[in-house]
Amino acid sequence: MRATVSLRNAARTPLIRFVGRRSIPQSVDHSPRPHPASPTGVLPDSFAAYRAKAQQHGPLGRASFSQGSIGRSPGASLGSIQPQQGVFFDRTDLPTRFHRLPYSEAEIEAIETGGASLYI
């Protein structure tokens, strides 16, 4: 028996039924307007004005990317790179009780076999 052939020959009826005729709106307002959750509720004057004030990982204005602005001041002027008291950059800088525990041979074997060695 070929069930797939008989299924292909059967008339397909959609599961969704729409009520009424399809109607396209005659007038749709596509004018720009601020997002309902906008903090100011107003549109910016222009994209350039928005970009001059926007922040994303630092200022987005052209002045920060213009020729000569990068590397204008030495890195030492940015401040110390030593962490503050109580701040650690790496886990190995913490006390030994917070270090990662070494894996045992049984754990390594279980990881390499996907856990199958635990049931042998």
Look at residue 109 and tell me if it is in a domain. yes
Query: Which residues have C-beta within 8 Å of that of residue 10, sequence separation ≥ 6?
Result: none
Look at residue 97 and tell me if it is in a domain. yes
pLDDT tens per residue, range 86-97:
888 888 888 999
Look at residue 24 and tell me if it is in a domain. no
Handedness of CA 23, 26, 31, 37 (dihedral sign): negative
Q: What's the pTM value of the predicted model, to 2 decimals? A: 0.28
pLDDT tens per residue, range 44-70:
888 887 777 776 665 555 554 555 556
Look at residue 50 and tell me if it is in a domain. no
Domain range enclosing 110: 90-119
